[in-house]
A = this chain, B = another copy of it.
Amino acid sequence: MNVAVLGPGLLGGSIALALKERGGHSVAIWARREESAREALQGGFADRASTEISTVVSGAEMVVLATPVGSMPDLAREAVRWIAPGTIVTDVGSVKSMVVRDLGPILDGHARFVGSHPMAGSEKTGMAAACARLFEGRPCIVTPLPETDPEAEQQVCGFWEMLGARVFRMTPEEHDARVALISHFPHLLAACLVNMAVDQDPAALDLCGPGFRDTTRVASGSPGMWVEILRSNGPAVKKSVEAMIEKLGETLRLLGSDCPEEHMHAFLTHAKAERDRLRLPK
């Protein structure tokens, strides 16, 4: 398959590497900067790499938008001028309602767009952090609309399955609500925890163990990328914030010396049981 990957970041780079490792695919990468295009070629990520969208997408059977979500509409507007009619287009954006709403009108009628979101990020960014096995065993959410071409949907699902992902289909709205809970809000929560601890007593931070390291890992992610994600999915993230404030209020009662110890035990046991049964990446 001829695949054009627009954006040589962690996800775009990993898609390219995974395709190259499987063999039998031709990969072209578009990068905004000449230097990144050169690195993509020299690093063996792609058969072709360029800053010209026209040369990257022409001949592509599948185009993957892998830039920050805010720059996808402009990129799609440029790409749609050069892609063959009926070309399948997908993206890797962390929010789906906004992306699907923005890209549909730009691409539909010419290309066939189906939104995707592989749950395989990292606090690291850029092609240097890319990994051919990034998607193996990871969930990838595909968000077709009622009017989405079934063959295009099938091909996008098959694409992610080929890269090793476990595909889940749901509406863009279901995606945004669920991913707010398990990705967007936890990111904000990690940032809150760091900022709260620093506010309360900066000297405490010298004592951090592996628990604090892991609980706050995602707070080291790119602020620019995450502002965009959090604000694009603002209402769903707010709902999680409110639910968490309520849950923390519950723990104030559980911590009270007048509350039987068994209540806190049940709270922690429930959390442990639910977490232990998750299918998590190694």
List A residues 215-239 near B (Cβ within 8 Å): 215-221, 223-224, 226-227, 230-231, 234, 237-239
> How far apart sit A211 and B124, CA to CA, in the bound complex (Å)?
12
- CB pair A168 B280 closer than 8 Å: no
Which residues of B are found within 8 Å of A245, using beta-carbon distances?
245, 248-249
Do residues B230 and A255 form an inter-chain contact, with CB atoms below 8 A?
yes
Residue contact B281 to A213, C-beta cutoff 8 Å: yes
* Cα(A209)–Cα(B226), bound, Å: 16
Q: B186, A204: Cβ atoms under 8 Å?
A: no
Q: What distance in Å separates the Cβ of A121 from its nearest Cβ neighbour in chain B?
A: 6
Q: Is A205 interfacial (CB 8 A cutoff)?
A: yes
Say which residue of B139, B217, B243 sits within 8 Å of A207 (CB atoms): B139
The CA of A138 and the CA of B194, in the complex, are separated in Å by 19
- Is the pair A211, B196 in contact by a Cβ cutoff of 8 Å? no
CB distance from A245 to the nearest CB of B (A): 5
Asked if B195 and A215 make an inter-chain contact with CB atoms under 8 angstroms apart, the answer reads no
Q: How far is the CA of A197 from the CA of B256 in the complex (A)?
A: 24
A221 CB → nearest B CB, Å: 7
**A57 interface contact, C-beta 8 A:** no
> Are A211 and B186 in contact (CB-based, < 8 A)?
yes
Q: Inside 8 A of A201's CB, which chain B residues have their CB?
A: 177-178, 181
The 6 closest A-B pairs by CB, nearest first: A191-B271, A119-B209, A178-B204, A223-B268, A194-B271, A213-B280
